[in-house]
Structure formats: C-alpha cells, structure tokens
Amino acid sequence: MVDNVDTPEEQPVLTPTPIYRCKDPACKAWVREEYLPADQKCPMCKGPMSRSMKHLPALTKGKKKRAGKGKG
Ligand SMILES: [Zn+2]
C-alpha cells in the first residue's frame, strides 16, 4: 500500500499582515497596507477600502525600509 500524500516542502512562513480590502463584495481586490495608494481607493474599482488582516508570506526581498516617523 502506498500513501500518496504530497508532503509540503519549505512552506513559507505566513505572518498576519495588515491589508486593505475592497468594501465591494463583488470586487475581490486587496492590497498590502504598505502598497495602499495615498488616496486609499481600491485600485480596481476606485471604491472605498477597509482594513483587514491576511496571512501572507513575509516579504524578504529588497531592502528593509524603516518607516520615517516623527518630526523631520
Ligand atoms: Zn474594488
């Protein structure tokens, strides 16, 4: 008997990531919070978006940029 189970290899670590999701249930668009456009409008239908969470693999590529917070 052979167990034909596909073993997951090197699954990416999923971390709860803040995202913005389109409020329109017919529109499935969502973006990571860091990619949210300045106008906070849905990139697909230009409708309003609401904050949510999604388990996503952590971004590793590229330089890590610190959020410039405070006075400057
Ligand atoms: Zn939308």
Q: What is the pLDDT of residues 28-58, one digit of tens each?
A: 999 999 999 899 999 999 999 999 999 999 8
Contacts for 58 with CB less than 8 Å, ≥ 6 apart: 12, 13, 15, 17
Q: Which domain holds residue 33?
A: 14-57
Q: Is residue 68 situated within a structural domain?
A: no
Q: Is residue 48 situated within a structural domain?
A: yes
The residue that leads in pLDDT, 69 or 42, is 42
Question: What pTM, to 2 d.p., does this model score?
Answer: 0.64
Q: Is residue 35 situated within a structural domain?
A: yes
Q: Is residue 24 situated within a structural domain?
A: yes
Q: Ligand 1 mean position to 61 CA, how many Å?
A: 27
Q: Is residue 1 situated within a structural domain?
A: no
pLDDT in the model for residue 10? 78
Q: Is residue 64 situated within a structural domain?
A: no
Q: Ligand 1 mean position to 22 CA, how many Å?
A: 5
Q: Read off the pLDDT band of 23 (50, 70, 90).
A: very high
Domain count, the chain: 1
Q: Is residue 69 situated within a structural domain?
A: no
